[in-house]
Amino acid sequence: MNIASWVREGIAQRRAAIYMKAMAVFFLLAALSHLASIMGLGGGSGADRPWYFRAADPVLLLADLVIAWGLWRTRFWGVVGWLAAVVFLQVVPMLLLIQFTAPDPRLRTTWYGMMATHAVLLAVFFALLQHKKAGADLGDRARPDGRVT
């Protein structure tokens, strides 16, 4: 079984679907945060922020909305989008541009904390994808209709 089919089967489970819906709510909140930042409602004017934050807000707004929709609908592409967004829109830019985006040690600690949070959230999700075999814990046999005898 390849990883794509493993994830597809895993997201069909109720516990993974509930977790995906919870993560969709967080992505929707993140999108609202980026929208507020674009509109200048996030404390201070947008002109005071560095150009890379102003450029990233529209990209992250759209990405967060699309990912939230995919996760809420428990779609495979939502999971792929989530993983890609964490890697390509958060971790890689933060690590490559850390000297520009976080010159202050306190801000660097915040960035590293954000990356650790993403790693933990993804680890919990992949742990929830573990498949249980019917009767595997009791040594029982599973019938074709799925009931354990």
Instruction: Evaluate whether residue 141 is within a structural domain.
Output: no
Instruction: Evaluate whether residue 89 is within a structural domain.
Output: yes
Instruction: Evaluate whether residue 116 is within a structural domain.
Output: yes
Question: What is the Cα–Cα distance from 9 to 64, expressed in whole angstroms?
Answer: 24
Domains identified in the chain, total number: 1
Instruction: Evaluate whether residue 147 is within a structural domain.
Output: no
Question: What is the Cα–Cα distance from 29 to 35, expressed in whole angstroms?
Answer: 10
Contacts of 42 (CB under 8 A, 6+ apart): 33, 36
Question: What is the Cα–Cα distance from 144 to 128, expressed in whole angstroms?
Answer: 25
Instruction: Evaluate whether residue 70 is within a structural domain.
Output: yes
Instruction: Evaluate whether residue 148 is within a structural domain.
Output: no
- Residue 94 lies in domain: 3-128
pLDDT digits (tens, 9 = 90+) for 46-93: 667 777 778 888 999 999 999 999 999 999 999 999 999 999 998 898
> What predicted TM-score, i.e. pTM, was given to this entire model?
0.79
